[in-house]
Amino acid sequence: MDNYKKYLKSKNLKNSTIKNYLWHVRQFLHWLNNKKATASELKNYFKYLLKKYQKINTINLRLKIINNYLHFIHQQFQFDLLSDHNLELKILDNEILNQFLENPLKKNSHLALRDKALLELLYHSGLKVGRLIEVKKQQVDDIRQELFLSKNNSIYLSPHVWMHLKKYLDSRHDDIDYLFINFDRSNKSKNKSLSVRSVERIISQYSKNIKPAVNINPQILRNTLAYQLKSTGAQSEHIKAALHFQTRAGAKNYLKKI
């Protein structure tokens, strides 16, 4: 816990926030009772929270904190937050979505190739930003035109998405493992993986170029993909697979809002 505490301090969080995080993580570890944080155990913990607490905000607070801790210990599993059915999801229509995805093509640069591949893959893969930025080049299968996330989990890339990803990869002449890297010469993170915040800025940049301007974020892209899938008859199991939900409950809860 000492290392995790140092990690939280490095994020410049308030002392009260750090204490809150540490308390919830200790409660989580107490629940684990010395068992490993496997996907199976984490799903059981999710069910435990659903039974113990009634308010969505109460459950989501715990899930957010545990997600932070799981990221710290390099555990790929991330909980899907519950949604309030009374909140309206923002979804892009086809015209706005196409404008957004085509915006990088207005530039002729190395960055534009990266951004086009990034936006296409982010939207069509259904991956969350935090997971996509951790993908490495060796996870791309040139023959099958697939993206391998794990031994038994791969994503087929459509010819359109593959074309733009291939153009970007062919333009790369470096030995960096990560699929999407930072090219900013003034940034200390040059030639390292993009951060979540960097991707959010890229999305914001291209959303401002739409006329009229539209505020777009990663969640809105996920909402739009889910809506497109539901419109073609996709059920909760398909949504769960396409958007990489960890639990059926999370997928069903999300699908009801779309």
How far apart, in Å, do the first and last CA atoms of the chain sit? 39
Counting every residue written for the chain, the total comes to 258
CATH class of 94-257: mainly alpha
| Average pLDDT value for residue range 162-177 | 94
Q: Give the DSSP H or E segment for 156.
A: strand 153-156
**For residue 184, which phi and psi values (nearest 5 degrees)?**
-70, 115
Query: In the β-sheet with 146-150, what is the strand arrangement from edge to edge?
Result: 140-141, 146-150, 153-156
Q: Give the DSSP H or E segment for 40.
A: helix 39-52
Name the range with the highest mean pLDDT among 79-88, 130-139, 179-188, 214-223.
Answer: 130-139
| Average pLDDT value for residue range 115-130 | 96
Using the predicted structure, report yes or no on whether residue 58 has a pLDDT greater than 80.
yes
pLDDT score, position 172:
92
| Residue, of 229 and 56, whose pLDDT is higher | 229
pTM of the model: 0.66
pLDDT score, position 26:
96
| Average pLDDT value for residue range 108-135 | 94
| Average pLDDT value for residue range 174-200 | 81
C-alpha 100/C-alpha 13 separation (Å) is 34
- What residues does each domain of the chain span? 2-72, 94-257
pLDDT score, position 86:
44
C-alpha 103/C-alpha 96 separation (Å) is 11
Mean of all residue pLDDT scores within the chain: 89
| Least confidently predicted of 5-9, 182-186, 203-207, 233-237 | 182-186
pLDDT score, position 189:
53
**pLDDT tens track for 124-136:** 999 999 999 999 9
DSSP state of 109: S
| Average pLDDT value for residue range 16-40 | 94
C-alpha 68/C-alpha 164 separation (Å) is 32
If we measure between CA atoms, which residue out of 226, 225, 76, 227 comes closest to residue 153?
76
If we measure between CA atoms, which residue out of 94, 129, 137 comes closest to residue 201?
129
Using the predicted structure, report yes or no on whether residue 186 has a pLDDT greater than 80.
no
